[in-house]
C-alpha cells in the first residue's frame, strides 16, 4: 500500500508504479517548505493533510533524489544545519550533569553524583550527525579499485632468487672494496 504522499500514482505498460507529475511537484513543494520557508516536517504534513511527519520527510527525500545532484547552496545549508546540531550536541556533552532524584541532587559521600546519560545521548546524536554528514559529502560512497592480477610462475620465483643472490654478491664485493682489501 502506498503512503499518503505518493497518491496519485500511475502504472506503466509493465504494471510498475510511477509517481505522477502532480506527486513530483508536491514533493518539490514539500522540499521548498522545508528548506526555504523553514517549516518542520510536522508542519509540512499538516499543510498537505498527511497523517504524520514521516510522510513529509519521505516527500522531501524524494524531491532531493529527483535532483541529480543537490545544488551547492542546498548542500551548504544542510552542512550548516548539521554543524549547528553538532555544536549543540557537543555543548551538552561538555557540560557537567548531575543526578536529581525527587527534586533533590543525589549525593554520594557528600558529592553530587554525575549523570552520564546526557553525555551518552549526546554522543549518539553526534554519531547520527556524522553519518548524515558523510552521506551529504559522499564519504561513504563506494571506492573503485583498479586491480591487476599477475600469475607468478616457478620461473618468476627462480628469477627473483637469482636477483637476490646477485644483489647480495654485489653488496659483498662493494664492502670488500670499501674495507680496502681484495682477495682474489
CA distance 15 to 18: 9
Q: How confident is the model at residue 4 (pLDDT cuts 50, 70, 90)?
A: low
Q: For 82-99, what is the mean pLDDT?
A: 94
Number of domains composing the chain? 2
Check: CB of residue 129 under 8 Å from CB of residue 82.
yes
Question: What residues have CB less than 8 Å from 144, skipping those under 6 apart?
Answer: none
| Domain extent for 15 | 1-68
Mean pLDDT of the chain: 85
Q: How many residues does the chain have?
A: 184
Q: Are residues 84 and 57 in the same domain?
A: no
Give the pLDDT mean for 70-92: 87
Regarding whether 89 and 51 lie in a shared domain, the answer is no
Let me know whether 84 and 104 are in one domain.
Answer: yes
126-180: pLDDT as tens digits: 999 999 998 888 777 677 777 777 788 888 888 899 999 999 999 998 888 888 7
Domain membership of residue 158 (yes or no) is no
Q: Are 12 and 61 contained in the same domain?
A: yes
Dump strand ranges (E) for 54-138: 100-101, 104-105, 107-108, 111-112
Q: How far apart are CA 28 and CA 33, in angstroms?
A: 9
Same domain, 60 and 77: no
Distance, CA of 118 to CA of 179 (rounded, Å): 71
pLDDT digits (tens, 9 = 90+) for 102-127: 999 999 999 999 999 999 999 999 99
Identify the band that residue 62 occupies on the pLDDT scale cut at 50, 70 and 90.
confident
> Is 149 a member of any domain?
no
Residue 159 lies in a domain: no
The answer to the question of residue 48 being in a domain is: yes
Amino acid at each position: 500500500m502506498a503512503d499518503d504522499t505518493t497518491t496519485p500514482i500511475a502504472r506503466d505498460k509493465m504494471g510498475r508504479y510511477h509517481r505522477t507529475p502532480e506527486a513530483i511537484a508536491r514533493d518539490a513543494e514539500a522540499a521548498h517548505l522545508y528548506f526555504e520557508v523553514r517549516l518542520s516536517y510536522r508542519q509540512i504534513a499538516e499543510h498537505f493533510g498527511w497523517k504524520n511527519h514521516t510522510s513529509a520527510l519521505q516527500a522531501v527525500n524524494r524531491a532531493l533524489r529527483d535532483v541529480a545532484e543537490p545544488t551547492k547552496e542546498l548542500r551548504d545549508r544542510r552542512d550548516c544545519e548539521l554543524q549547528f546540531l553538532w555544536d549543540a550536541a557537543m555543548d551538552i556533552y561538555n557540560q557537567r550533569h548531575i543526578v536529581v532524584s525527587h527534586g533533590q541532587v543525589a549525593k554520594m559521600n557528600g558529592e553530587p553524583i554525575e549523570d552520564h546519560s546526557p553525555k551518552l545521548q549526546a554522543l549518539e546524536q553526534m554519531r547520527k550527525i556524522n553519518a548524515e554528514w558523510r552521506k551529504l559529502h559522499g564519504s561513504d560512497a563506494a571506492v573503485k579499485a583498479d586491480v591487476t592480477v599477475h600469475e607468478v610462475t616457478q620461473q618468476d620465483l627462480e628469477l627473483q632468487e637469482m636477483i637476490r643472490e646477485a644483489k647480495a654478491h654485489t653488496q659483498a664485493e662493494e664492502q670488500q672494496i670499501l674495507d680496502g682489501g681484495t682477495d682474489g
